[in-house]
Amino acid sequence: MPRGKKIIITLTEEEQKTLSMWAAAGKTEQRYAQRAKVILFSAEGCPLSEVVAGSGLSRQNCTRWRMRFLKDRIDGLRDLPRKGRPSVIPPGVKTRVTMLACTKPPDGSNQWTRQSLANAMGLGKTTVHRILSEGNIKPHKVEYWCGRSPDPEFEEKQAAILGLYLNPPENALVLCVDEKSQLQALDRTQPELPLRPGNPKRLTATYKRNGTTCLLAALSVHDGKVTGRCVDKNNHVTFLNFLKHLYRSNPKKHLHIIMDNLSLHKHKEVMDWAAKRRRLAIHFTPTYASWLSQVEIWFNIFSKDVIRGGVWKSKKQMIDQIMHYIRHYTENRAHPFAWTYTGKPLAA
């Protein structure tokens, strides 16, 4: 390129945002931060001398990265593949690493790490990573599935619950009721560091416990509305009081309440009270099938929105936030959960 010819760089909004993040984020690799600064300074019309001073690179390197960016945009700022012949890993080594990764480590751990595999095999960590990636083996990952319920009345119970979901009786209110216990009001010993580009919100690992609460919740299946109450300790008395509150709050509806098999749900006082209510029917999920209760879906949403990463100075502050969240969810976000699975039914 002729000396003295001016390079004009115009950035799109997305490029400006990406390069600014590279340049500002403290965890970006230094070489990428420097290259981003070269392009940002150039886009502002700075002369080459100021680009050199601002980025910390030589004139030759600044010119090279500007030309690479003009040719390939942001992809041009990334490192090119290294030259040379790729390393060849003998098939026997791959087989031994694969077989070892599929066993339980002898040191008492539940799974291998790349480093422990590398140490056991006398290989480099990068080599082990390549072997595992090629074989699509992920020792760190665990998946779960719903085991078959041993309940002899599984078919009848699940059919009754699904029938209430899909075709409820006239004037029925279908409620899924459960509790989320041991919610801890945790405060941190240092102020939290807020979210910013390149870094998530950060909390100190040390904390102070400010008490616990238990959330009783009832999800109305066909409109998604949630009724909640926080109690210090959940037992059959507090649970029965919650059921009575639901019953009184819906005087013109026939309540169908779906619950799991927790012992306090089946307490004699609870069952005796329910048996005397003409507008109330209780349906228990099959053994090991509490996932049939839709309130479990809502509890997952609640945990992600409220509990994870929460910081509270007192138990009251946490309870106030929980109840505010429930009111806002019911007024603005409540909706029936829709069945989205489109595959084949799982084999029995």
CB 179 within 8 A of CB 293: no
- In one-letter notation, the amino acid at residue 125 is K
Most distant CA pair in the chain, distance? 95
Distances (CA, A) of 138 to 104, 128, 269: 13, 12, 50
**pLDDT attached to residue 290:** 92
The model carries a pTM of: 0.66
What six digits make up the tokens of 155?
């078919």
Residue 4 pLDDT exceeds 70: no
One-letter amino acid for residue 261 of the chain: N
pLDDT tens by residue, 142-189:
887 777 889 999 999 999 999 999 999 999 999 999 999 999 999 998
Per-residue confidence (pLDDT) for residue 1, from 0 to 100: 45
| SS3 call for 22 | helix
Sheet holding 226-231, edge to edge: 226-231, 207-220, 172-188, 254-259, 280-284
Flag whether pLDDT at 342 surpasses 80.
no
What single-letter DSSP state applies at residue 102?
A: T
Over residues 306-332, the pLDDT tens digits come to 999 899 999 999 999 999 999 999 999
pLDDT of residue 152: 92
Mention every residue, 6+ apart, whose C-beta is less than 8 A from residue 25. 33, 197, 198, 199
Statement: residue 341 has pLDDT above 80? no
Asked whether the predicted pLDDT for residue 103 surpasses 80, the reply is yes
pLDDT of residue 312: 94
* Confidence grade of residue 200 (pLDDT, cut at 50, 70, 90): confident
Among 9, 264, 251, 287, smallest CA distance to 154 is for 287
Q: Which fold has domain 154-333?
A: Nucleotidyltransferase; domain 5 (3.30.420)
Report d(CA 250, CA 238) in Å as an integer.
Answer: 19
Q: Assess whether pLDDT exceeds 60 at residue 347.
A: no
pLDDT of residue 2: 47
Q: Please write the tens of the pLDDT for every residue from 226-264.
A: 999 999 999 999 999 999 999 999 999 999 999 999 999
